[in-house]
Amino acid sequence: MFRSAPLKTIARGALLVAAVVFSQTLLADDATTPSPDTLKLKDGSVLFGKLLSGDSGTIDFESQHAGTLSIPINNVAELASEQVVVFKFQDGRLIRLPKVTLTDEPLTISTKDGVMSYSLADIAIINPEPWMLGVGHHWTGSLIFALELQSGNTDKQEIDVDLNSVWRRSDIRFTLRASGELDEANDVATSNDYTVIGKSDRFLSDTTYAGANLYFEADEFSQLKRRHMLTGYYGKQWRSTPRLRFSTEPGLAFVSETRTELEEETYFAFSWNMDIHSNYLGPNTDTYLNQVGVWNLEDSTDIVVNTRIGLKMPVRPKITVNTQLKLEYDSGAPVDVKEMDTTFTIGLGYRW
């Protein structure tokens, strides 16, 4: 039998060893646990959390207490991170930094091209996605569907479809847009039209690109049997922040159109496309305006302007409620057809 005194001594020794090992483990964890990233704002407040991404307009930051925030970069006084952060600056340089503090004052960074100075204002993208660096691609899009069925004294069916799909790599972009409307009342068609646009862009810089598009349009009740258009254009992305994305694409088009009981007409035209998007009403909302214009260079009184103004509001992560006002102006319409056609739709959409 062992005496009690040695057992107590052994127990105390084991407890001491365990305490030392456990404390060393805690110290090691503390040593390896990185400090949270910080954002110091110009109003004096400080946010602690994790730097997610950003661009020249905003910084996406996961705050420990307020969740994920999109903060305008002009409201930020200092950005500090002890994590590995990848920066793409306005001059095109891509720099990977294991620890960084950026303010409005230039920070000296050693690169393979020498010593460079950068500040918050020089940021183009923070933690760019792989496709932005030429690896893989990025595919986004939305499909809006509106359906109305009515029976009784009047049998009525209305179907509206709107598709927008964008496939993007760092240097090229392909866009497909298609919309159509088919309405019937008492088995008699009251509306039958469609528009299809296919675009291809090659980026010359981060904000400029050259492209071409094919445009197909038909509207039975405007006596437009078909309008085909091939356009070459120069595009400019004036703003690219979530709060405001704004681009214009002026160009030269060759147009071929046929109207009911009239011969085919071909002409050259000045064309333009304008896109405006904003999430001003909420992080996952999209308020937009798209306008396509065609101005006949052989007849200055002949002009076509199709404008879409809409709002997409999320009801589920990928499901949206959509409202859209479509304004279609055609000064060359026959005398018995109104020059302005207005359509307002409400429907559900799916986006990816």
pLDDT by residue (tens digit) across 121-133? 888 888 888 888 8
Within 10 Å of residue 303's Cβ, how many Cβ atoms? 17
Domain boundaries, the chain: 37-128, 138-351
Whole-number pLDDT of residue 26: 46
Whole-number pLDDT of residue 2: 43
CATH match for 138-351 among 2.40.160.40, 3.40.50.1820, 1.10.10.10, 1.10.580.10: 2.40.160.40
Whole-number pLDDT of residue 275: 96
Whole-number pLDDT of residue 29: 46
Q: Which segments of the chain have a pLDDT < 50?
A: 1-4, 15, 17-21, 25-31
CA dist 275 and 113 (Å) reads: 38
CA dist 312 and 38 (Å) reads: 33
pTM: 0.75
Whole-number pLDDT of residue 261: 83
Whole-number pLDDT of residue 319: 95
